[in-house]
Amino acid sequence: MTATELSDNNFINFQDDFYNLLEKYGVSSIDIEHPRYETICNLRNSVVEFIEQELFEDFMDDDSGEYGFEGQYLSDGVYIKRGLL
């Protein structure tokens, strides 16, 4: 499957926001020593995959030419890559 990948910087920002949200609602400080660190990482990755799929579907549905050429970074730091569907 093809997807629109978040840039490294966008992924790091998302991860920080995601951890902050969990901590805001009562999850203890998240680091590698957290007893449910693996579960938290799996949740984070699932959300990232959802976002990337949504970005890709928006990209494929867009016919404005706004997104540029295959294999380029967009102005918001999202990298577009295409593969075989």
Could you list the residue range(s) of the whole structural domain that residue 17 is in? 4-80
| 72 CB burial (10 A radius; 0-12, 13-18, 19+) | exposed
pLDDT, mean of residues 67-74: 50
pLDDT in tens, 3-60: 678 889 999 999 999 999 999 999 999 999 999 999 999 999 999 999 888 888 777 7
CA distance 68 to 81: 11
pLDDT, mean of residues 50-73: 66
In a domain, 85, yes or no: no
In a domain, 22, yes or no: yes
pLDDT of residue 36: 96
Q: How many domains does the chain have?
A: 1
In a domain, 66, yes or no: yes
Enter the pTM of the model.
0.65
In a domain, 16, yes or no: yes
